[in-house]
Amino acid sequence: MKLEIKDLKKKYGKKLVLDGISFSADEGTCVGILGGNGCGKSTLLSILAGIVRADSGSFEVTGGEKSCIGYVPQGTPLFEELSAKDNLKLWYDSQSLKKELESGVLKLLGVNEFLTVPVRKMSGGMKKRLSIGCAVSGSPKILLMDEPTAALDIACKENIYEYIENFKKNGGLILLATHDVHEIELCDKRYVIKDGKLTEWQYDGDLRKLAQWIK
């Protein structure tokens, strides 16, 4: 399975956010999308998730379908008044929910620990884990993650890193929009968006070079 993106362009008003983005990624890899705030990382992921329409260009999933894409947005897209279980029920049928909680991805994310807690009473980490749990319903082969560990404590971050490693090992493809050093290290390929253009960046352990480049 391969994700191929060809010449994607997107304008918001007069601002050209994405200017001919093209790249490809193979299964079993994690691709990092880096860049300054407001550079277009989330827009790129939104287009791939089918939420926003690109002005021109296209993307294809060879050896798979576009419906096999899962998306974890920046925030926590959950019903605050409902419990974790009620939120999960929207995406999983009762049989697969039981299975995932016993031995699947929901167990790996530790969702069992707060299944009956209303979302409004959850910590940021719990919400993020639940969001990922909801996003991966239907076993997507491609996962788009928008700053998944932003503002989380170390324990929660470790939990999510472990999940990412696992997803990769099982042949999944992850596109990760991030600012986090550890997440950058998890990636096999890294791209930087600046002024709407995408450039591949070779990471050598020195983040200061990236900071200077982004500036």
Partner 1 sequence: MRYLKYFSVQLKRTLRLAVGVFPTAMLLFACLGAAAWFLLNQGPLAERQQKYQIGVVGKIDDTYLGFGIYAIQTLDVSRFMVDFIPMTEEEARQAFRNDKIAAYIKVPEDFLDSLIYGRNDVPISYVASEGQKGIGGYLMEELAVVVSKLVTSAQGSIYSFQDVIRDYGDASQLGEWTDEINLQLIENVLARTKLAELTELGLSKGLLMRQYYFCAVVLLYCFLFGISSASFFLKRNEDLGKWMKMRGIGAAAQVLCEYGVYLFMMMACVFLPLIGVGIATKSFAFLKTKVYMDEILKALVPILIMISAMHFMIYETVRNPVANLLLQFLGVIGMGYVSGYIYPASFFPKGIAFVGSVLPTGVALEGFSGAMLDERSGMAFGLGCLYVTAFLVLAVLMRKRMIERDNG
Site of interaction with partner 1 (CB under 8 A): 12, 17, 37-43, 46, 49-53, 71, 73-82, 86, 89-91, 134-135
Q: How far is 125 from 162, CA to CA, in rounded Å?
A: 14
Q: How far is the CB of 115 from partner 1 (least distance, A)?
A: 16
Q: How far is the CB of 15 from partner 1 (least distance, A)?
A: 8
Q: How far is 149 from 126, CA to CA, in rounded Å?
A: 11
Q: How far is 119 from 87, CA to CA, in rounded Å?
A: 9
Q: How far is the CB of 45 from partner 1 (least distance, A)?
A: 9
**Between 89 and 98, CB nearer to partner 1:** 89
Read off the tokens for 76.
């926590």
**Between 64 and 77, CB nearer to partner 1:** 77
**Between 28 and 150, CB nearer to partner 1:** 150
**Between 32 and 73, CB nearer to partner 1:** 73
Q: How far is the CB of 40 from partner 1 (least distance, A)?
A: 7
Q: Which of 93-117 are b and which e, b meaning 16 or more Cβ less than 10 Å from the residue's Cβ?
A: eeebbeebbeebbbebbbbeebeee
Q: How far is 150 from 128, CA to CA, in rounded Å?
A: 9
